[in-house]
Amino acid sequence: MGLITKIKRYYLFFGPEEYLKTKRIKSLISAVVEKGYEDFDCNYFEGRGLDATVLVNAASSPPSGSPLRVVVLRNLDKVSPRGLNLIERFIDSIPDYTTLIMTSEKIDRRKKIFKTLYKDEKACVRFNLPTPRKAVEFIAESAKQLNISIEPEAINYLVETIGPDVGRLDQELTKLALYVGPKATIRKDDVALLCGAGSIGTVFDLPQKIVSGDAKGSLVLLNSLLSAKQSEGRILFRIKDYFLKLNTVKALDMSAWVLRKKYGMLEKTAVNICQTAKRLSEICIINCLHHTYQCEISLKSAGLKKDIVLFDLISRLVLEVKEE
């Protein structure tokens, strides 16, 4: 009973990180709902189109065979004003045998429902997207728990390639473990082969090939990424993000340490960006950003094929760098 008394009558999990919210919900359910009673003592509701009276009735019903009934309401911010009003009035009447878990991507603390929920700030937990450094820690811990061997360089490369989305990182780690086998160590080359465009690299490597002036290498990698079904939008985002950071470093004369602190960036990446920013002129970086924004507009139009637009962008960027 000690654990049950510590469970609050309600929780609000909000923020953009869906994977960690879902993981937290599952852990709460496993802690208070008896095995075999999940279908009886756990109810799920979706905010859009919700009939709040059905939710209140479910939350008011005693559990069948578990210490607590768990009622999960996803996307509280999508509930109608009338439904929010009913839920807000129900908060103080939640029975001792029920815990209500609500999720929301965004909250507006000016609304009455969120003012009421925030009367217990410890019940309201924000789930932000982790920084790359936090994502590296997450992968290292997950690998340890799953008894997977992975080199530190491969972890960094995986995070830089996929981004700090821990849900996707967890999926890719599982695929990598199946790919290399239970007794092998996951290496950087394995990440490139499974998550990128083969041994020549991933989308993370593309901006670095561009700023090095490697036209052939950049175009070959782009072609391989497109052949591997990498989305044009993701490729463009990676390029634009790299040049935006170059521009920030150049304009503010930012050190690698400050860049890491500002963006939660990995050390090797921050050092690379700072060294490149020092080498390229301000005009070159601005021109590259201009080409990138033009490409973004072209991708959104129904004119040229998207792959042709990207090949043209790479050629223009490499030409700008080579003219330095």
- State pLDDT tens for residues 223-263: 888 887 888 888 999 899 999 999 999 999 999 999 988 88
Residue 4 and residue 28: Cα distance in Å, rounded? 10
Residue 112 and residue 115: Cα distance in Å, rounded? 5
- Per-residue confidence at 2, pLDDT binned at 50, 70, 90? low
Residue 156 and residue 140: Cα distance in Å, rounded? 10
* pLDDT, position 165: 84
What one-character DSSP code corresponds to residue 93? G
* pLDDT, position 145: 86
- Per-residue confidence at 191, pLDDT binned at 50, 70, 90? confident
* pLDDT, position 3: 59
* pLDDT, position 298: 87
Q: Residue 85 pLDDT > 90, yes or no?
A: yes
Q: Residue 28 pLDDT > 70, yes or no?
A: yes
- Per-residue confidence at 88, pLDDT binned at 50, 70, 90? very high
